[in-house]
Every structure is written in structure tokens, then in C-alpha cells.
Structure 1
Amino acid sequence: MVKASVSVSSLFQDFLSLLFPEECRACGGELAIGEDVICSHCRIKLPYTNFHLMPKDNVLHKVFWGRVPVQLAVSYLMFQEKSRVQRLLHQLKYRGREEVGEVLGRWYGAQLQQQEAFTDVDVVIPVPLYKAKRQQRGYNQVSAFGQEIASALQVSFEEYVLKKSRSSKTQTKKNRQQRWEAMRQLYSVAQKERIVGKHVLLIDDVVTTGATLEACSSALLAAGAKAVSIATIAYTL
């Protein structure tokens, strides 16, 4: 009787999918039955970086040379304007589509799990949002991505260890040192006992200048983290 119920439920879901097909978050086309969030065509066409194959020797890792001692630095996708990746990030960040981060985190987590360099990661921590921004959006757009990676690596996910004290302001009129000082003061560690002596994997959505990740990494290291590595959804050349 239970098997029959499951079968009927499954058939009903398939029927609903035919009547009201879900759209691919990357291209807007219809998802086929069995596809989840991103269609098979887009999954093949996404611009993967493969940074996880060389986590200590790639262009992202070099961004932090001489700035902060990052152990590993990887991004899943390359970001370009008017691309599938931009659409995915827009859906995730502004349209409430947290499932985008969940799926990308699941896929990337499966890849990181196979790399020996990531076996000593102890905890996954997302770059935080200022509390007013989080309340407005209702979620941190990188949390689902980070949770899936933590699950794949079989480590804890700590969403509230890092804290952002206020909203970021424009830094265009400041020199590099002034911008760094302003950014550094934005982030602090709220629960030091959760990161002392641990290898932290810091998660974010997109890397541009790397200033936010630099400030967060510095805060974590100053609070006693053994090492900090970085993993993001996308990287902008």
C-alpha cells in the first residue's frame, strides 16, 4: 500500500511538471523531468574554472599574495556579464532562489571532497551580511552553497561566527590603504572558540578585488584560526 501511494504521488508530480514546467535558472528554458534547477545543457556549458585541481597555484590564489596568507583559493565558475553565471547569481541574490546556491554547492562539494588538499578543513564559514541587509533579503545568499560544501566535506557549517558591523559605503575617494582600513573594521569574529586552531574554509559568492575576503580572512586569523582557505561560486577576471 505504501509503495502504491509513493507511485501515485510520483506520477502526480510528473503530471504537474508537464502542466507547469519549472524553468532553468541559468537560461530560462523549461526543465525536463529529472532535471533540477539547472538544465543539462546549461550544466555542460557553464564556464568551470577547475581551480580545485590546483588550489595553491591559480590566478585566484595569486590575488591574495602579499595581502593575507590564504592556504587554498578556489572558485567554481568564471563570471562574465550577460552570461549564464550572471543570471544564476542574480536569481540567487535578488530573486530568493536559494536552491541555486544549494545545487551549485552540492556539485562543487562533490569535487572538493575528492581533493586531498581539502581533507584537513575543519569548518565552513560564510562571508556575513550586515544584519539589516540580511533582514531585508531574508537570507545570506552564500549560506546554502556553504552548507552543501560543509556536508560534502563532513565538517560543521558556522553561519554566525563572522559578523559585519555595518553596511559598506563607497570607497572610491579613498586610497588603497584607507580602503583596507575601512574594510578591515567592518568584520569581526563573534565566537572565537569555534575557530581557534582550526582550518577555516571561507565562502562567498563572487570575487572581484578580493578586499572583502582579505578582511574576513585577516579577522579569522587574528582571532586564532590555524589557517584560512577560500571557496566562492564565481571569480571575475
Structure 2
Amino acid sequence: MLRGALSDFIALAFPHTCLACLQPLARGETHLCTDCRAQLPYTDFHRLSPAANPLARLFWGRVPVEHVLSYLRFLRRGRVQHLLHQLKYKGQREVGSALGLMYGQELAEIGLGTDVQLIAPVPLHPRKLAKRGYNQSDSFAEGLAQSLELPWSPSTLQRTDYTASQTRMTRSQRWQNVADVFVVPNPTAVQGQHVLIVDDVLTTGATLEACAVKLLAAGAAKVNVATIAYAEH
């Protein structure tokens, strides 16, 4: 009884807030409030066949990717944009791990990811990593790995060049911008492996395609893709 009263006092004095709407969390809620969990724009693409998944079409004829999955739809000025802003620019790394945990649980429930052997986050350039202090894709990878009970490694891929922002680029320009900026420093770690590449946002797919090309060239048996969100370009 005393412990419950103390918890209520601490929550009132130092409220934990929802990472999406910034409202105080109720007892039993973690990271996201019940309302935001219900209202987030889920894609449910993991419940579609690859042929019916619109994101898979971004890679058709370009690189053999088995599944292309995104947890949420990116809507401007919506909850997802706020979540990603908190993750990338406000130091809220737990956003990535929380969403990774949630998405991993859904994937596990339908048997997706059971034959994946390694999760590889898209890397930042060391200069950007030093400036931000962390890679937002690592947090998402860590959450997914925990739910799916899989290993993940932030060093599977490395980024060798500091590239320009791709915000206003076409798909062709984005591909040219990233085609040769990734390397697999230890090819033996991926040879014969089924690798899940993860990132925060999928827009045109150029960055993820570049990573997939390098992994397959290094000997990976298969690649899948999973992101927190996708944004129509």
C-alpha cells in the first residue's frame, strides 16, 4: 500500500510523459500512452504477401530483397513525426528501442523473422555519430533483437563517406549519393547469413538498397528490410 502511494507521488511529482503526445503516462503505461498506441498509423504491411506489399515494389528489379517492412506511416505534424524528432534530435533513444520491442513482438507473433540470423542497422558516418552521440537505427535494432531473440551488430556495415542531405533529392540522385558509401568490414560475419537491415525511415529505398547490395556482395544469403516508418516521396 505504502509502495503504491509512493509510486503515485513520484509519478505526480516527476511524471513520465508519452513520447508521442507528451501527456503524463498512467500507471502501467510505458513509453507510449494507451491512446497513442491505439491511434498510431500502423501499416500492417507485415501481414501482406511480398507481392501485395507496396514497399517491396521500390526494390523490384534492383536488388533481391525478401521482405520490406515499415511499422508506421510517416505523416507530417503527426505523432510519428514527433516520435522520430524525439529519437533523432532530442536524445530520446528509448523511442527507437520501444518501437523495436513493439514491432518485434508483432513480427514474432506471425512467424516473421524466425529465419533471420543477424540484424544490421544502417550506420551513420563517424562525424555525424560523434555529433549526435548515438545512431537512432541502433536503438530500433536493439529493440527488435530483444523481441525476436536475435543478435544485432552496429558494426556489420560501415559508412565511409559523409554525404549530403537527401531530403530534396530524386531517387536517382539519392542512389548516386549513397551507392558507394557503405562497406562490410568483416565479410565472414555475414557469409551465408540471412540479414535484416534496419533504419528509421524508408523514403525511396536508395540507402537501404545500397546496404543490401553490399551485404549480398559480401556473401549474405538473403536480406530483409525493416524501418520504423515510411514516407511517401
TM over 0.5, yes or no?
yes
Structure 1 residue 144 corresponds to structure 2 residue 139: yes
Q: Residue 175 and residue 73 in structure 1: after superposition, are their counterparts in 2 closer, same or farther (change >3 A)?
A: closer
Give 3-state SS (helix, strand or coil) of 2:199's partner: strand
- Report the equivalent of 2:24: 30
Deviation at 1:24, TM superposition (A): 1.3
- Superposed counterparts of 1:169-184, under 5 Å: 169=164, 176=172, 179-184=174-179
Aligned mates of 2:101, 2:67 — CA distance in 1? 19
- Report the equivalent of 2:74: 79
Give 3-state SS (helix, strand or coil) of 1:116's partner: coil
Unaligned runs of 5+ in 2: none
- Deviations 1:111-163, CA, capped at 9 Å, x for gaps: 11122342110000100000111111111101121112112222211111100
Contact 1:55 1:74 in 2 (8 A): no
Contact 1:187 1:216 in 2 (8 A): yes
Q: Residue 140 and residue 17 in structure 1: after superposition, are their counterparts in 2 closer, same or farther (change >3 A)?
A: same
Contact 2:59 2:205 in 1 (8 A): yes
What do you get for the CA RMSD once the two structures are aligned?
2.0
Give the alignment's TM-score, normalised by structure 2: 0.92
Structure 1 residue 15 corresponds to structure 2 residue 9: yes
- Report the equivalent of 2:189: 194
Deviation at 1:20, TM superposition (A): 2.0
Aligned mates of 1:68, 1:106 — CA distance in 2? 28
Give 3-state SS (helix, strand or coil) of 2:91's partner: coil
Contact 1:55 1:73 in 2 (8 A): no
Contact 2:97 2:144 in 1 (8 A): no
Aligned mates of 2:161, 2:182 — CA distance in 1? 9
Contact 2:121 2:199 in 1 (8 A): yes
Deviation at 1:12, TM superposition (A): 3.1
Give 3-state SS (helix, strand or coil) of 1:202's partner: strand
Q: Which moved more, 1:198-207 or 1:23-32?
A: 23-32
- Report the equivalent of 1:4: none
Give the alignment's TM-score, normalised by structure 1: 0.91
**% identical aligned pairs:** 45
Count of residues in Structure 1 that have an aligned counterpart in Structure 2: 230
Contact 2:171 2:206 in 1 (8 A): no
Structure 1 residue 214 corresponds to structure 2 residue 175: no
Counterpart of 1:54 (choices 36, 48, 63) is 48
Aligned mates of 1:173, 1:125 — CA distance in 2? 25
Deviation >4 Å, runs of 4+: 7-11, 170-175
Structure 1 residue 67 corresponds to structure 2 residue 53: no
Q: Residue 15 and residue 203 in structure 1: after superposition, are their counterparts in 2 closer, same or farther (change >3 A)?
A: same
Structure 1 residue 44 corresponds to structure 2 residue 49: no
Larger radius of gyration: 1
Unaligned runs of 5+ in 1: 1-6
Aligned mates of 2:32, 2:169 — CA distance in 1? 40
Give 3-state SS (helix, strand or coil) of 1:230's partner: strand
Deviation at 1:107, TM superposition (A): 0.6
Contact 2:174 2:207 in 1 (8 A): no
